[in-house]
Amino acid sequence: MIACSNCKHSNMDGALFCAECGSQLTGNSFVTQNITTDRFKDLLDSTGKEEQYQNFNGEDAWGSLHLLDTGHVISLAAKSEFTLGRVSEGQPIMPDIDLSPYQAYAAGVSRLHAVVKRGHHQMTFMDLGSANGSFINGKRLAPNEEKSLSHGDIVSLGKMKIQILLKNA
Amino acid sequence: MLPRKPDHYVALGVFRDATQEEIKRAYLESARRLHPDKNVAAGETELFLAVQEAYEVLSNPKRRSLYDATLPPDITGNLDVKHEIIFSRPSLVNLSEPQLLYVLLEVSSREDPEKLPTPPLNICLIVDRSTSMQGEKLDVAKATAIQLLRSLRQEDTFSLIAFSDKAEVIIPAMDATDKKKQENSIQMMHTTGGTEIYQGLRAGIEEIHRAMTSARVNHMILLTDGQTYGDEQECLALAEEAATQGIGISGMGIGHEWNDIFLDALTSKTGGSSSYISKPKDIQRLLVEKFNALASIYADEVTLEFKEQEHIRINYAFRLQPEGGSISIEPTMRLGPILRDASLQILFEFIIEPAALIEDEIALMNGALKMFIAARSTPVPPIRLKISRRVEKEPSMEAPPVRILSALSRLTLYRMQERARLAADEGRFDAAATHLHNLATHLLSQGENSLAKTVLFEADNLESKRKWSAGESKKDIKYRTRALLMSSTKEKT
Residue B354 pLDDT:
93
A3 touches chain B (CB under 8 A): no
- Give yes or no: residues B407 and B466 share one domain: yes
Q: How many domains does chain B have?
A: 4
Which of B249, B278, B295 is at the close of a domain? B295
Coil, strand or helix: which one is B203?
helix
Q: Which domain holds residue A9?
A: 2-54
Average pLDDT along chain B: 87
A97-140: pLDDT as tens digits = 889 888 888 888 988 899 998 877 778 999 988 888 999 888 88
Query: Are B97 and A13 in contact (CB < 8 Å)?
Result: yes
Chain B interface test: which of A11, A35, A46, A160 (most B C-beta within 10 Å):
A35
B444 touches chain A (CB under 8 A): yes
B394 touches chain A (CB under 8 A): no
Distance CA B298, CA B334 (A): 16
Distance CA B239, CA A62 (A): 60
- Give yes or no: residues A50 and A131 share one domain: no
Query: For residue A46, is pLDDT > 70?
Result: no
Residue B84 pLDDT:
92
- Give yes or no: residues B129 and B209 share one domain: yes
**Among A23-32, A149-158, B123-132, B306-315, which stretch is predicted with the lowest mean pLDDT?**
A23-32
For residue A68, what are the CA distances in angstroms to A4, A32, B404? 10, 8, 23
**In the structure, what pLDDT confidence band is assigned to residue B123 with cuts at 50, 70 and 90?**
very high
Partner residue opposite B406 with nearest CB, options A15, A28, A37:
A37
State mean pLDDT over B331-358: 92
- Give yes or no: residues B283 and B139 share one domain: yes
Q: Which residue has the higher pLDDT, B43 or A67?
A: A67
**In the structure, what pLDDT confidence band is assigned to residue A63 with cuts at 50, 70 and 90?**
confident
pTM: 0.73
Amino acid letter for position A111: R
Partners of A141 in beta bridges: none
CATH number of the domain enclosing B147: 3.40.50.410
B228-249: pLDDT as tens digits = 888 999 999 999 999 988 899 9
Query: Are A27 and B412 in contact (CB < 8 Å)?
Result: no
- Give yes or no: residues A138 and A159 share one domain: yes
A17 touches chain B (CB under 8 A): yes
- Give yes or no: residues A44 and A84 share one domain: no
Distance CA B334, CA B300 (A): 10
State mean pLDDT over A77-94: 80
The share of chain A scoring above pLDDT 90, in percent, equals 9
Distance CA B47, CA B302 (A): 19
Distance CA B134, CA B137 (A): 7
- Give yes or no: residues B154 and B302 share one domain: no
Answer whether residue B76 is part of any domain.
no
**In the structure, what pLDDT confidence band is assigned to residue B47 with cuts at 50, 70 and 90?**
confident
Which of B295, B318, B336 is at the close of a domain? B295
Query: Are B445 and A36 in contact (CB < 8 Å)?
Result: yes
- Give yes or no: residues A77 and A42 share one domain: no
Answer whether residue B481 is part of any domain.
yes
Distance CA A117, CA A149 (A): 10
- Give yes or no: residues B191 and B273 share one domain: yes
Distance CA A11, CA A117 (A): 35
State mean pLDDT over A132-154: 87
Measured between beta carbons, the chain A residues lying within 8 angstroms of B444 are 70, 103
Answer whether residue B126 is part of any domain.
yes
CATH number of the domain enclosing B377: 2.60.40.3670
Measured between beta carbons, the chain B residues lying within 8 angstroms of A55 are none
Distance CA B388, CA A83 (A): 51
ipTM over 0.90? The verdict is: no
Amino acid letter for position B136: E
Which of B324, B358, B392 is at the close of a domain? B392
Distance CA B223, CA B161 (A): 10
Partner residue opposite B446 with nearest CB, options A14, A19, A37:
A37
Q: How far is B448 from chain A (nearest CA, A)?
A: 11
B437-480: pLDDT as tens digits = 999 988 888 788 889 999 999 999 999 999 888 878 899 999 99
Partner residue opposite A28 with nearest CB, options B102, B397, B492:
B397
Answer whether residue B344 is part of any domain.
yes
Distance CA B92, CA B460 (A): 42
- Give yes or no: residues A45 and A111 share one domain: no
Query: For residue A36, is pLDDT > 90?
Result: no
Q: Which domain holds residue B372?
A: 81-115+298-392
- Give yes or no: residues A108 and A129 share one domain: yes
Q: How many domains does chain A have?
A: 2
Residue B74 pLDDT:
65
